[in-house]
Amino acid sequence: MEPSDDELVMLVKVASDQAAFSQLVRRYQAIVRGLLMRLCANHAEADDLAQDTFIKAHEKLASYQGDNRFKGWICKIAYTEFLQSARKRKSRARLLERYRAEQDDEAQPVSETAGMSQDLDRALGELKGDERICVVMCYACSMSHGDIVEATGLPLGTVKSHINRGRAKLKAYFAPKEVAA
């Protein structure tokens, strides 16, 4: 019988058992990477953030109280890492924009090629930020509403609303379009 998450956490806390932490990483690696891959446009960035998530989790393991499920706790760390990365990206983008303006080098807008195939990542990109994170956590990571509340800090009713609205938008996005004759 495999040890529970709480038993593994206790082994790491009390005995500094790195094999126990490795087992936690193996257990949640796919969930964390899947979450971050849906949130990031770049898979390499998602892998880096997943690695940062587990490093941060190892550092903060002493603060894990076991009040909530480990899955929600680790996904909250992943989401926080994503938000911090997004802030850094925005800051870099602003600096680059300022530099370009100073150089009078106007960037040409990139136009989408007509007829590109629709995919889930593009559809998720159409959702608002909180809707996207709630939908991804619910469906891609199989997280309960309670786990999503724990990970995002949003109220339960808001999480449910975001999931329902996001699901409706995705359904509409993928619905067959009628062609005018």
Q: What is the rounded CA–CA span in Å between residue 55 and residue 48?
A: 11
Across 130-169, b (16+ Cβ under 10 Å) vs e yields bbbbbbbbbebbebeeebbbbbbebeeeebbebbebbbeb
- Residue 143 is given by DSSP the state -
pLDDT at 110: 39
pLDDT at 180: 62
H or E stretch including 13? helix 5-15
pLDDT at 49: 95
pTM: 0.64
CA dihedral 162, 138, 52, 129 (to 10 degrees): -20
Tallying the residues shown for the chain, one arrives at 181
CA angle 146, 162, 177 (to 5 degrees): 135
- Residue 52 is given by DSSP the state H
> pLDDT in tens for each of the 181 residues of the chain?
888 888 998 998 889 889 999 999 999 999 999 999 988 878 899 999 999 999 999 999 988 887 778 999 999 999 999 988 888 877 766 666 666 666 644 444 433 432 333 467 778 888 888 898 899 888 888 889 998 998 899 999 999 999 999 999 988 888 877 766 5
pLDDT at 32: 94
Q: Are 23 and 6 in contact (CB under 8 A)?
A: no
pLDDT at 39: 87
Q: What is the rounded CA–CA span in Å between residue 39 and residue 19?
A: 29
DSSP 3-state helix, strand, coil percentages of the chain (rounded to 5)?
A: 75, 0, 25
Q: Are 12 and 20 in contact (CB under 8 A)?
A: yes
- Domains present along the chain, CATH in parentheses: 1-103 (1.10.1740.10), 118-176 (1.10.10.10)
Tell me how far CA of residue 28 lies from CA of 50, 75, 179, in angstroms. 10, 9, 44
